[in-house]
Structure 1
């Protein structure tokens, strides 16, 4: 059994009949969606991920739109990095604005990831802070990132000419900084900047995490 499958087996008992369950993006969550199919008629699903939504629909789950959902019992997601205070950096999928809505709606927000992505306090700068930005605010945000000592890069599409657009029709800016020592304060500056829809830093939103050790095959909870 792979470490991904072991993590999923640990997560399955957390899902109970009658729940509204949030499933994020990524391969581990996709595996959980498949493994939870015995509850397909007993839970409702909400997801920020078009890929996960398609999978859940094909499997027969009742999928509800987040705009009509005012509470989620439990949600599962992945991350790029996680610290011991329950904060996380997410950047790869570019759906963090919609992910954060579901994380905030959820009574419990669990991350499923490998233990090598856990940092004690300060995040590794190899993972960018990603901003979802209204198109009209592009120049303002790019200038502000530079003024904060960051190097901004507009994310471009891989399968067509032009910029990557989010499901909300906005741009993604990957921000690289020399240090994340004061990430919470930095994040707050961008989160309150006109035109920034959301950031990829999840400040103490994580209830718990299942961390799989790829060497030993063991899975441990963060808290």
Structure 2
């Protein structure tokens, strides 16, 4: 699998290491993105060798890949618990002395609403990443999924919070990106986010916001693939 950004070998190492944490009988949240895809493929190989699991995909892409590799799928409302969620990130705070250590920005694939739903429901949420995703503070644009009728109002409210929002445009067709939920995405540039928890609270309170891409206090660990193996950050 050829992927953009980061090292393919590092992504593969992180994804395959996370897949090793899945035990027989687990219900597994299947995240979205190139690094998580390596975990799903590894789980497919384990299923072929006899591992029995059920997966809950967070996007059309992860659902399609899971079906291709033979993972039985289910839904949140059909299970009592999610044992483990494996998901990627666009950026991860890697600063042990910072309040936001382990905070994430997600949503580059516009699947962050479903990802947050599944990741929050899991007993353990593991992030898979390569070193290019680590940063001392979050500084990437924050994806905000909004109801279509609310996008101009939300854009104004986000400007009041100090951001310049951009409606995400689709590639290969005219018009904006439409999420799997039928909504639009505003990419909101705040610069360096020193207090992600407070910003997350402000964004969540805006009527018309379906979900934002700040994941604060949700991850239990990050598996960082490197040239020498996998470094594990526990939170």
| TM-score, length of structure 1 as denominator length | 0.91
The aligned residue for residue 34 of structure 2 is 27
- Contact kept in structure 2, 1:91 and 1:128, CA below 8 Å: no
* Number of aligned positions between the proteins: 218
| 2:163 corresponds to which of 150, 170, 187 | 150
Shift in Å at residue 8 of structure 1? Answer: 3.2
The aligned residue for residue 3 of structure 2 is none
Q: Which runs of 4+ in 1 moved over 3 A?
A: 66-70
Q: Answer with 144-153 or 99-108: which moved more.
A: 144-153
3-state secondary structure, aligned to 2:124: strand
Gapped regions of structure 2 (runs ≥ 5)? 1-7, 95-100
1:39 maps onto 2:47 in alignment: yes
3-state secondary structure, aligned to 1:14: coil
Alpha-carbon distance between aligned partners in 1 of 2:110 and 2:214, rounded to the nearest angstrom: 12
| TM-score, length of structure 2 as denominator length | 0.86
Gapped regions of structure 1 (runs ≥ 5)? none
Q: How does 1:22-171 map to 2 (within 5 A)?
A: 22-37=29-44, 38-39=46-47, 42-84=52-94, 85-120=101-136, 122-123=137-138, 125=139, 127-171=140-184
CA shift digits 1:12-44 (9 cap, x unpaired): 320100000111111222122222222256000
- Contact kept in structure 2, 1:111 and 1:209, CA below 8 Å: yes
CA shift digits 1:144-171 (9 cap, x unpaired): 1111221010011112111111111111
